[in-house]
Amino acid sequence: MSLDAYFQRIGISQPTSADLAGLCAIHAAHPAAIAFENIDALTGRAPELDRSALFSKLVQGRRGGWCFEQNAVLREVLTDLGFRVTALAAWVVWMAPPDAPARPRSHMLLRVDLDDGPYIADVGFGGWLLSQPLRLVVDEVQHTPAGAHRFLLDDGEYVLQAELPTGWMNIYRFTLEPHKPADYLSSNWFVATHPSSIFVRNLLMERLTPQARYSLINDRLTIRRPDGPPETRRIADARTFERLLDETFGVEAPAGLFARVPLGLETLAMPG
């Protein structure tokens, strides 16, 4: 993983020390430059998670990826810079009803230990990307450019919440059990291939910049800016779709992708 190529990709200078300022700079620039997307799963293949494949796709290529790719790249970069990083796994509960059955752990996130304590870094939660690392403290509201967040502790599990106009919404639950790269292979395969996976049947994309949060679900684009109501529009044709992916998400669309995108939305909770 070439650090020079990575920092050129996200458009910032390489931090000179492994501290909070450097972590925040990387965490803000990454989701602004490398979009969340599940194109591989929609087109019938599971993403490769080895180091060379991640570098080729997300850093050298004009593609994004999902949590197992995004946070794996971030883990490699932070480790190479001297940060103390532990990979974790979470149960996604985003947009799920309270009585929904438990799901398997299907999201990758990172714990980064700094001198003032642990932080959660996560640049790969499609549906609600984070703009900065969050200090791992319980019951403390943390205000970020992309909204307010907090952690709760429930029955031995941490719960990450986001404050929405309707109130606090659970995003995912996790423990501090360390995970190795091989631990994510089965989850990556499952969400990329199982018929019940939302990623197999829908296109989900998101990019988070200081100006706006851009979200694409199939043929519906939603733009959320800090100073106004959401803007939503439908994508009518392949040419508009390809231009949108190029100009708004920085992704080069594979040939014929729009023909595989379902029209409309499924009433399903969006996993990470």
Catalytic residues: 67, 107, 122
What does residue 64 show for φ and ψ, rounded to 5 degrees? Answer: -110, -150
Q: How far is CA 62 from the centre of its chain?
A: 16
Look at phi and psi of residue 119 and say left if phi exceeds 0, alpha if psi is from -120 to 50, else beta: beta
Tokens of 252: 């080069």
SS3 content of the chain, % helix, strand, coil (to 5): 30, 25, 45
3-class secondary-structure state, position 55: helix
Tokens of 178: 């360390």
Question: Of 87, 108, 75, which is closest to residue 178 (Cα–Cα)?
Answer: 87
Contact assessment for residue 126 and residue 206, using Cβ atoms and an 8 Å cutoff: yes
Question: Of 43, 35, 48, which is closest to residue 257 (Cα–Cα)?
Answer: 43
240 contacts: CB under 8 Å, gap ≥ 6: none
Residue 28: Cβ within 10 Å count: 23
Look at phi and psi of residue 187 and say left if phi exceeds 0, alpha if psi is from -120 to 50, else beta: alpha
